[in-house]
Chain A
Amino acid sequence: MSDDDGIRLSDDQKRRQRGRSIAIGLALAGLVVLFYVVTLVKMGPGVLDKGMY
């Protein structure tokens, strides 16, 4: 495949695509952090005391 095949994005389109990709990445990372923190909060301070013995 040469560079001329397929859909070609202009530089401006690439810039906007990159911006969107970064935003989606940040949103996903934010969700990961959110679920992590919520899990800690939900389990509460007693999380280390339970159920081992």
Chain B
Amino acid sequence: MGEGPHRHQAGTYSRLPAEWTRTGSGPRTRKTCLMSLAEIQDTPLDETGFGGGQGEVGDYIALLKPRVMSLVIFTAFVGMLIAPGGIHPVLGAVAILCIAIGAGASGALNMWYDADIDAVMSRTKGRPVPAGKVTAQEALVFGLTLSAFSVLVLGLTVNWLAAGLLAFTIFFYAVIYTMWLKRATPQNIVIGGAAGAFPPMIGWAAVTGDISVESVVLFLIIFMWTPPHFWALSLFKRGDYESARIPMLPVVAGEDATRRQILAYSVLLAPVGVAPALLGFASPVYGAIAAVLGVAFVWYAVKVFREREGDAARKASVQLFKFSLLYLFLVFALLLGDSLFAALFSGGFA
């Protein structure tokens, strides 16, 4: 992380968590307010309390949550390719770029708002804002700028339905999920998961200009997948959420209730995963494999449901978490392969 000698020594941010208020509107250290301009000009930058202008390019890339972004790119790409009709490859690439940047922007807005709780959790305390590399205000401006650009460019170059969906996704993730539900309700994950479920729908809308049953099914697959995925994570990262006082389900409703709900959503997910074949926009081969994957998902969820004590319980939830990642990847990869295969046999891309 390039711990340069000038980087954190003045502690502009090292004292941040104690002074941080819950508003997330950025650190206003008392020192800054009381200093005169002359004093500030006589002080090396690190000691003024502004602390801005310190970030490396890599820190700004980290604000975009590149790992989440890669999943967004993949699912949006699948949505775009399996949609009927075609899109010019250049416009398709621009659409993917806009969706990726828009998703990254919502990640930056999330890190701006959540810096106080990110600082408390082991999984997130190395993020640029709590680590003091980028100020909260810089993250906010970065997120807003990229949001505006991604939506406008998508609208001007592709179509305004896709742009509107992208804008709604950013709003949903940054405002509805991050600012409101995440700290307010144990169902935060369920509703917040909708934000992650939009990208294939946006990809689809970029091609067809509409919302259809098929794109809603793609949405539902990710929507149903999110709760068991994150609740499995929260089962073995429970301490983190407790110390950050986020009302995750295991913290609020207990682990037994979480295991029941994981199982319930897994049972709902399995048929939704097969739905593309049942609705006829994927082949029976896809349907068969998706069914097997769905059964495996439920099987891992049953293991989580049964194993409730000690290491076995932890292991079961880790296994479900890992399998859930594999499941989502495989389902979308299969949908993609399926439509490419069909396109080859129908004599080229539609």
Genuine A/B complex? yes
Q: Which residues of A contact B (CB under 8 A)?
A: 5-10, 12-13, 16-17, 19-20, 22-23, 31, 34, 37-38, 41-42
User: Known contacts being A6-B41, A7-B45, is A16 close to B94, with CB within 8 Å?
Assistant: no
Question: Separation in Å of the A12 CB from the closest CB of chain B?
Answer: 4
Query: Which one of B41, B45, B60, B153 lies within 8 Å of A34 (CB-CB)?
Result: B153
Query: Which one of A5, A6, A16, A22 lies within 8 Å of B55 (CB-CB)?
Result: A16
- Kindly state the separation between the CA atoms of A14 and B72 in the bound complex, as whole angstroms: 34
Interface size of B as a range:
20 to 34
Q: Are B6 and A23 neighbours in the complex by a CB distance under 8 Å?
A: no
Query: Which one of A10, A34, A38 lies within 8 Å of B6 (CB-CB)?
Result: A10
A8 to chain B: closest residue by CB: B44
User: Known contacts being A19-B57, A38-B94, is A12 close to B44, with CB within 8 Å?
Assistant: no
Q: Is B4 an interface residue (CB 8 A)?
A: yes
Query: Which one of A6, A17, A37, A42 lies within 8 Å of B53 (CB-CB)?
Result: A17
- Kindly state the separation between the CA atoms of A47 and B53 in the bound complex, as whole angstroms: 45
- Kindly state the separation between the CA atoms of A42 and B60 in the bound complex, as whole angstroms: 32
Question: Separation in Å of the B52 CB from the closest CB of chain A?
Answer: 11
Q: Are B157 and A12 neighbours in the complex by a CB distance under 8 Å?
A: no
Q: Which residues of B contact A (CB under 8 A)?
A: 4-7, 40-41, 44-45, 48, 53-57, 60, 88, 90-91, 94, 97, 149, 153, 157
Q: Are A13 and B45 neighbours in the complex by a CB distance under 8 Å?
A: yes
Q: Are A23 and B90 neighbours in the complex by a CB distance under 8 Å?
A: no
Q: 10 interchain pairs (CB within 8 A)?
A: A6-B41, A7-B40, A7-B45, A8-B45, A10-B44, A10-B45, A13-B45, A19-B57, A31-B153, A41-B91
User: Known contacts being A19-B57, A20-B60, is A12 close to B6, with CB within 8 Å?
Assistant: yes
Q: Are B91 and A23 neighbours in the complex by a CB distance under 8 Å?
A: no
Query: Which one of A6, A16, A22 lies within 8 Å of B54 (CB-CB)?
Result: A16
Q: Are B56 and A16 neighbours in the complex by a CB distance under 8 Å?
A: yes
Q: Are A23 and B60 neighbours in the complex by a CB distance under 8 Å?
A: yes
Question: Separation in Å of the A30 CB from the closest CB of chain B?
Answer: 9
Chain A residues whose CB sits within 8 angstroms of the CB of B91 once the complex forms: 38, 41
Chain A residues whose CB sits within 8 angstroms of the CB of B88 once the complex forms: 41
Closest 6 CB pairs of A and B: A12-B4, A10-B6, A23-B57, A19-B57, A41-B90, A38-B157
Chain B residues whose CB sits within 8 angstroms of the CB of A13 once the complex forms: 6, 45, 53-54
